[in-house]
Homo-oligomer: A and B are copies of this chain.
Amino acid sequence: MPQALPVVAPQAAHRPLFAGFDVGGTNIKVGVVDAEGRRVAHRSLPTEEERGSDDAARRMAAAYRELLAESGVAAGDVVRAGLATPGPMDIPAGKLLKPGNLPHWHDQPVRDQVSAATGLPVTFANDANAAAYGEFWCGRGRDAQSMVMFTLGTGVGGGIITEGQLIEGRHSCGGELGHILIDPSPTAPLNTLGIRGSLEGYCGSYGVLARAEAAMAAGDPTSLRKRLEQGAELTPLMIAEEAESGDQLALDVVLETARYLALGVVTMVHAIDPEMVLIGGAMTFGGEGSRLGERFLARVREESQLRMIESLRDRVTISFASLGGAAGYYGAAGLACREHQR
């Protein structure tokens, strides 16, 4: 069953508190979270990317101050912020490099911009890594010692935590699980970066759409065709809806996605041997509690078990993540908490 987000009333929260900022191409989410990983308050603001990161940092700080005022939290109770952004980035330097969906933020010192605007020391992290850390800190992975998370969306991201430590990598690229390679064929799909045979090319939304389009082009019957004829655009959501309604082609596309994802899961289980693997992100085909989502997850598990060494078979938990779109700001706050406690 879907799990409720951990929350706590402001007056009952365990001080100190931490702010988490999760920057996406469309929205920026802000949360205030206590030291036990419980949310005290949250809100969202538009990214308005084209106004640049310094402007966004000021608007983030304003939203954060309003949030404190509304929830009756004293500013002094918040001791550190976490900032999660898309990569590529240079975490030690606190800088973005050239993230594709934030073209006006390239090469900006975002950590210091947010720190200056909020008056808080800031811990900087990759967004998919932060989401994984959020699940580990206070989501589905909260009782695990080690965890690998895959986030499915337009792209495929991820995060790896071993012995409580997030693997951020030497070049701030740890957990780029969309770019693990699952196919050596010269005809394997290319991903958006031109890399052939990567997990993302099969399990990112464009890979899923491409397989559906190829099956339709082959003439297979499908209720998707009717919806496209009505002028709708093909999306993973439409595929999920038609699969739920019994369309075989759409269902096959979803379950093939599960099979490809399982290759990535098995690879990471053999490399890391984690206690738990979580599947999250925007494209989980209805996700936890939905008939199709549960069928998708069951297929990921089955196809993974088939390919695992005996010592690991049936011993690694594979589940949906539980924090949904809040994982990023929970995780950013959690990384801030970890740094504060060091």
Task: Enumerate chain A interface residues (CB-CB to B < 8 A).
Answer: 87-88, 97, 145-146, 158, 160, 162-163, 165, 167-185, 193, 195-198, 202, 259-260, 263, 266-268, 270-275, 307-312, 315-316
Contacts and interface: CB of A to CB of B under 8 A. Distances in A.
Contacts of A180: 180, 266-267, 270-271
Contacts of A311: 87-88, 97, 171-173
5 contacts: A167-B272, A167-B273, A169-B272, A177-B270, A271-B272
**Copies held by the complex:** 2
A176 B271 contact: yes
A308 B163 CA distance: 27
A162 B160 CA distance: 11
Contact of A195 (B97, B273, B309): B309
A258 to B, nearest CB: 12
A197 to B, nearest CB: 7
Which of A158, A162, A170, A275 has the largest count of B CB atoms less than 10 A from its CB? Answer: A170
Contact of A266 (B171, B181, B270, B310): B181
B169 A273 contact: yes
Contact of A162 (B165, B267, B270, B308): B165
A171 B260 CA distance: 24
A176 B87 contact: no
A307 to B, nearest CB: 5
B270 A173 contact: yes
A91 to B, nearest CB: 11
Nearest to A267: B180
B260 A184 contact: yes
Given A179-B309, A183-B184, A271 B165 contact: no
B268 A176 contact: no
Given A160-B271, A271-B268, A309-B176, A263 B181 contact: yes
A259 B193 contact: no
A98 to B, nearest CB: 9
A307 B195 contact: yes
A160 B163 CA distance: 13
A162 B268 CA distance: 15
A260 B184 CA distance: 7
A18 B225 CA distance: 69
B315 A171 contact: yes
Given A165-B163, A184-B260, A311-B87, A170 B274 contact: yes
A167 B162 contact: yes
Contacts of A145: 170
Contacts of A181: 182, 263, 266-267, 307
A315 B97 CA distance: 15
Contacts of A179: 266, 270, 308-309
Contacts of A309: 88, 173, 176, 179, 193, 195
Given A162-B165, A165-B165, A271 B175 contact: yes
Nearest to A144: B170
